[in-house]
Amino acid sequence: MLDIKFIRENADIVKAGAVKKHIEVDIDKLLAVDDERKRIRQELDAKRAEQIRRSNEMPRMKDLEREKLLDAMQQLKAGMAEEEERLKKVMIEWQQLMLTVPNIPDMSVPDGESDADNLEVKKYGTATEFSFTPKNHVDLTEALDIADFQRGSKVAGFRGYFLKGDGVLLANAVWQLALKHFSAKEMTLMSVPSLVRRESFMGTGYLPQGEEDLYKTQDGEFLAGTAEVATMGYHMNETLDADTFPIKFLSFSPCFRREAGAHGKDVCGLIRVHEFFKWEQVILCKAEHDESVRLHEWINRNTEEFVELLKIPYHTVANCGGDLGLGQVKKYDIELWVPGENKYREISSASYFHDFQTRRLNIRYRDNEGNMRFPHSLNSTAIPTPRILVSIIENYQQADGTIKVPDALVPYVGKNFIGGAK
C-alpha cells in the first residue's frame, strides 16, 4: 500500500506506474473519496469540540438554560451519529480503493504487456545437446516408475501426481542441498504454516485481487502458494529494532495454487501443479532504496548459484511492467532450460517491494533520527519442487532411458543414476 499523502503529491507518477504495469486504477476517484473522508472527519472533530465546550458550560447554567443546552446537545449528538455512519461508509470505499493502487515500478523495469516482453539480462550455459532424440519428463518418469500422473489424477483430481521411489529421493535431495546452500547465507531457518489468515494475504498483496487462485477453507483461512505470506505475517503489527536489519529468513512450506487462470496450460506433468513445496527467501531491511536494490541482486544470485551447482542451463530475465504484480517494484525470473519443450521455464522469482507490504502489515521500526518508518521487504524463491525435477530429469537423461544424478545431489540420492544398474 502506498501512503495517501504520497499518492496525492505524486498522482501523475502513480498513474504512470499503473499504466506501465497495465493495471486499471482510478486515482482521481480515490483522491475525491479522500477529500470526502477528510471533510467528514473535520466536521466530526468540530462537533466533538463543540460537545466538550458545551459540557464544560453545563455546571454554570441555571435549570432553564441547562434544559435548552441539553436539547441542543441531543441534536448535536444525533448529527454526530449521522456523520460517523457516513464516515464509516466512506472509509470502506477509501480502503477498497487504496488496496487497488499498484506500487510504482523502478525506472529500470522494461516496458511490455506480458512475460513474452521480459528482457534477458544473463545467460548461463547452452542448450543441452543429445546424440539421441530426447524425451520429456512425463515419458521418462513414467518409464522409470518414479512418478504416476494417472493415479495422481484419480486420487487428487486435475493436476494431481505421485512421486515414487527414486523420484522421492531426488526431490528430497534437492531440499537437502538447498538447505545446505542457502543456510550458509546466514539466514534464519523457518518452517511456516500454509494455512494462513486473511490479514497476511491482504498485507502481502495477494488479496483482494488474487483470490481466485487461492484455496479457501470453510473457516475463512486460505492455503498459501508461497511461504512468503506466513513469513511476512510473522512480524505483523510489530515494531522492530533497526539494529537487527537486514532480517533474513529461509522458509519452507507446502504450497497450494488453484491455477484458476491457467486452464489448458501445462496440463501434463510437474510444471504447473496444485500442490508443491518451496524454500523461500524473505528479507526485511531499512527503508533505503539502495539497500533494497543490493539485497535484490543478492537473493536472486543465491538461487542462480544453486542452479549452477546442478549445472543446468538457465537465463535470468528482468520482468516487464505488465508482468509485475501489484506490489512489486522490480522482479527477476530465473528460467531453466527444458529440452522436452525446447525452451526456458521459470523456476524462481525475486522481487522487492519497498514499504508496500510492511505498510499494509503495520511492520515498523524507529530510524536513527527517532522517526517511525516502515521497513522494505524482499522475497525470492530459493527452489521449488517438484518443478525443478523437470529440468534435472530432462537435461540429465541418457540414451538408455536412465537419469544421471547431478554430482551435487549424489551424496543425498546415494547413487549416480536413476534406473538401470549403473
The residues assigned a catalytic role are 257, 272, 346, 349, 387
Residues 6+ apart with CB under 8 A from 264: none
3-state class of 314 per DSSP? strand
Q: How many helices and strands (H and E) does the chain possess? A: 13, 18
Q: Give bridge partners of residue 222 from the DSSP assignment.
A: 196, 216
Q: Counting beta carbons within 10 angstroms of the beta carbon of residue 141, is it exposed (0 to 12), middle (13 to 18) or buried (19 or more)?
A: buried
> Taking a C-beta distance cutoff of 8 angstroms, is the pair 357, 203 a contact?
yes
Q: Give bridge partners of residue 148 from the DSSP assignment.
A: 162
Classify residue 77 by its DSSP letter: H
Q: Which amino acid is at 58?
A: M
Give the span between the Cα atoms of 343 and 46, in whole angstroms: 65
3-state class of 403 per DSSP? strand
Q: Give the number of other CB atoms < 10 A from CB of residue 318.
A: 19
3-state class of 12 per DSSP? helix
- Which uninterrupted H or E stretch holds 396? none
Give the span between the Cα atoms of 391 and 367, in whole angstroms: 45
> Taking a C-beta distance cutoff of 8 angstroms, is the pair 98, 91 a contact?
no
Joined grid coordinates for residue 33: 473519496
Q: Which amino acid is at 275?
A: E
Angle, helices 166-183 vs 387-395, to 10°: value is 110
3-state class of 165 per DSSP? coil
Contacts within 8 Å (CB) and 24+ apart, 78-83: 79/47, 80/44, 80/47, 80/48, 80/51, 83/40, 83/43, 83/44, 83/47
Give the span between the Cα atoms of 312 and 13, in whole angstroms: 40
Alpha-carbon distance values, 236 to 112, 218, 292, 360 (Å): 34, 24, 20, 9
